[in-house]
Structure 1
Amino acid sequence: MDDKSILEFTDKSVTFDQFVDFLATKVAIRIHQIEKGELEVSQAQAYKLFGRADVERWIRNGKLQPVRISPGKKRFSLVDLQKLASVQQNYLL
């Protein structure tokens, strides 16, 4: 694909260079957020993404702690959730 190629999206058309610049910016922002620990999700989002049973088990077993608690709301680190989800579970033990 050359630099003058046009990418067609349902809502607009952009050049390949514009797309790459936008994507690189988004990736850089996401890396920065991960490094700073700013990527947090609500308890409801954690349930939706990783399953309520798994999230509750991780909390009960002390493997997952909220990074922030406000009245009636808990927020969890997305990085922590992803690490726990990637661990092979042995449910027989």
Structure 2
Amino acid sequence: MSIDFTDKTVSYRTFLRDLSANIVKMLHEDKDDPDFMSTRQAYKMFGRKNVERWRRAGKIQPYVRPGKTEYETAQLRLLQRTEQDYL
């Protein structure tokens, strides 16, 4: 079995191997991430403009507690890794 992409064809086994390698890499990168991060940490890690744009677009919702606004780190990572068309 093979999978046809616009630029090439790869075997299903190769596709799964590459996919699993990328998943393992992402899990390794994210293993020490906290569940939530402050707005300041989010700005530093993902860029202020990105976080503000994602919030305006409704792609992320902050969690507001007395004296603290936080974002779910997993949501921010997902948006960071998602190809987005801003044009």
TM over 0.5: yes
Q: Does 1:76 align with 2:71?
A: yes
RMSD (Å) for aligned C-alpha atoms: 2.1
AA aligned opposite 1:90:
D
Q: Any gaps of 5 or more consecutive residues in structure 1?
A: 1-26
Bigger Cα Rg: 1
Matched, 1:58 2:54: yes
The aligned amino acid for 1:88 is E
1:42 to 10, 35, 38: 38
Q: Distance in 2 between matches of 1:72 and 1:60?
A: 21
Unaligned runs of 5+ in 2: 1-27
* Runs of 4+ residues deviating >4 angstroms: none
State TM-score, norm by structure 1.
0.55
Structure 1 distance, partners of 2:56, 2:67, is: 18
Q: Quote the sequence identity (%).
A: 43
* 1:11-69 Cα shifts (integer Å, max 9, x gaps): xxxxxxxxxxxxxxxx8xx58xx8xxx61000000000000000000000000001x31
TM-score (norm: length of structure 2): 0.58
> What is the match of residue 89 of structure 1?
84
